[in-house]
Amino acid sequence: CRLKGRGSLVKCLQKVDPFLHRNIGTDVVAAQEERHGCKSLYAVQAEGQEQAERSVLISCHSRTNEKKFLKYISRHGDIKKYFFYESYGLYAVVEFANRESVASLFEGAAIPSVSHESTVPFKSRLLSLRNIGLADSTNQQSGQQCQPQTPIPINELIQRLSKEESIDQQITSLRDVYQLTEENSRLRFLVCSLLKDIAAAYFPECTIKPFGSSVNGFGKLGCDLDMFLDLDGISGRNATMPKSGLSLEYQMKRANSERAVTQSILSVIGECVDQFGPGCVGVQKILNARCPLVRFAHQPSGFQCDLTANNRVAMKSTELLYLYGELDPRVRCLVFTVRCWARAHGITSSIPGAWITNFSLTVMLLFFLQRRSPPIIPTLDHLRDLAGPADKSVIEGNDCTFVSDFSKIQLQSNTETLEQLLCEFFEFYATFAFSRMSINIRKGKEQNKPEVAPLHIQNPFETSLNVSKNVNATQLDRFVALCQESSWLLQQSETNAPRGGSKGKASKPWGLATLLLPSQIAGIKSRKKRRREPASERIKSLLESLKNTSQQKKS
């Protein structure tokens, strides 16, 4: 089904479903068209890595003159792309057209001379621009435009959403505001590439790849940077040994288990990052976790980084989430919305604990979309059935096979709006039988819980594991109560109509914006103490009536 024009796509889809032209929304057709031309996650990763290798990160003085800077840097070769951003000072990311330019830049760079301290002589692509004796006093206005690397505050988001004209627009606007920008994404690849240079001191053929929300399409500006140290290129998992005759193999140090190897590699690289990594601070080695990791802050980018190794299942789940996000534009819009809603109410947190994680929340949303009638996205079992021989993947005994060719996936013609779906999502989980059932995106159907845990979400690939094992009953109750409240709020005509909206004046929160305001239900207020604007009397009285109704139901 290699398609070019829009008409041909409709025709092709009509062969599958002759009534499609009547049922399918234009947006859905457009999205499916896009899907046929969409890049695989591998292609995105490869492109990002390649760009990053040709890039450098330069700390600049706040009054750096953009023109002079570019003139100076371009002496080393053609610049393909550059941008400035602020994070504890001004930084520039410069991508050269060729890698040789980086070598040329290195040749002209000096080792800093410090009088009271000493430096580790490790040269990296993180540099500082010096401007000795040429203070640009004439140029107070330096002119560079900084690309934002952090999301707008929630209050600003609420105001912005209140100006939209429909809940559907609010939802897409939320996604547009929160999603990673192209520049932020480049910066993530660059930080991985800088880290790779450190790890390459031990393993020259290694790569470091971003995974999780940095690349799965659900990342919000400011999210952590999950990195995967990939040594598969070295260990030659796929190298074939000759069946007879002489051959050589490497002598290698042996350890008790793969886990022990991962721990020792991460321990040494973590130490190296700590001792020699420019800009890497607060390094913590968390080697006894189920998935051993090194956590640190990369100050020049402002990213909180988690470096893992031998974590190929997580790479697969990243690929799966990416695929689901590419299949239908409603998936990403709703994931961003539900993640934002959850964060606003303290259902998720940046601190590890008994809270629901963004990953769990995403799986819950995918499950809900599989349960629509007709389903918006297929089950994982269906994606596995569509897989070709090249897609076969078994990692540590877990079947991680699923189709990689997007064009093999036929979607059904569900045309529900974002507003309907958001409301139904809250309704679905407000009444879900959490006490008995497990959420399972492999089957696309709830299953009996295999073990006692307040919330059970089967890990899509390591099927004996519960993704939300950490969640306690209190946190699940808060989630359910907030789903009830939000579902109810969305069904009120007063919440659903744009309000205020006159030009120049601040609009009153309505629709999705209302859902992001602090909850009024006793006992489920956010854990975080924050400055709250007084909720309108109208919302208070609506919530009073909600409490009364639920008390009546109980009695």
Interface stretch with ligand CTP, choices 8-16, 49-57, 213-221, 401-409 (CB under 6 A):
213-221
Interface stretch with Mg ion, choices 9-17, 223-231, 334-342, 414-422 (CB under 5 A):
223-231
Site for ligand CTP in 218-257 (CB under 6 A): 219, 223-224, 226
Among 162, 184, 207, 318, binds ligand CTP (CB under 6 A): 318
378 interface partner picked from ligand CTP, Mg ion, none, CB below 5 to 8 A per type:
none
In the 3-class helix/strand/coil scheme, how is 181-193 assigned residue by residue?
Answer: CHHHHHHHHHHHH
Joined tokens for residue 426: 């809250």
Q: Compare residues 17 and 224 and give the one whose CB is closer to Mg ion.
A: 224
How big, in percent rounded to 5, are the helix, strand and coil portions of the chain?
A: 45, 15, 45
Residue 467 within binding range of ligand CTP, rule CB under 6 A: yes
Residue 314 within binding range of ligand CTP, rule CB under 6 A: yes
Q: How many Cβ atoms from other residues are within 10 Å of residue 441's Cβ?
A: 28
Q: CB burial class (10 A; 0-12, 13-18, 19+) of residue 104? A: middle
Reference 289, options 266, 317, 320, 321; nearest CA is 266
Interface stretch with ligand CTP, choices 5-13, 212-220, 277-285, 510-518 (CB under 6 A):
212-220
Among 55, 170, 185, 213, binds ligand CTP (CB under 6 A): 213
Residue 333 within binding range of ligand CTP, rule CB under 6 A: no
The contact pattern for Mg ion, residues 157-196, with x = CB under 5 A and - = no contact, is ----------------------------------------
Q: Compare residues 213 and 475 and give the one whose CB is closer to Mg ion.
A: 213
Reference 491, options 452, 450, 542; nearest CA is 542
H/E element, 96 = strand 90-96
CA 361 from centroid of its chain's CA atoms: 13
Number of residues that bind Mg ion (CB under 5 A): 4
335 interface partner picked from Mg ion, ligand CTP, none, CB below 5 to 8 A per type:
none
Residue nearest to ligand CTP (CB): 212
Minimal distance, residue 417 CB to ligand CTP, in Å: 26
H/E element, 380 = helix 380-385
96 interface partner picked from ligand CTP, Mg ion, none, CB below 5 to 8 A per type:
none
Give the Cα separation of 424 and 411 in Å (integer).
20
The contact pattern for ligand CTP, residues 348-367, with x = CB under 6 A and - = no contact, is ---------xxx--------
Give the Cα separation of 438 and 459 in Å (integer).
11
Give the Cα separation of 453 and 120 in Å (integer).
49
Minimal distance, residue 9 CB to ligand CTP, in Å: 31
Identify the bridge partners of residue 296 per DSSP, sorted by sequence position.
305
Binding site for Mg ion (CB under 5 A): 212-213, 224, 226
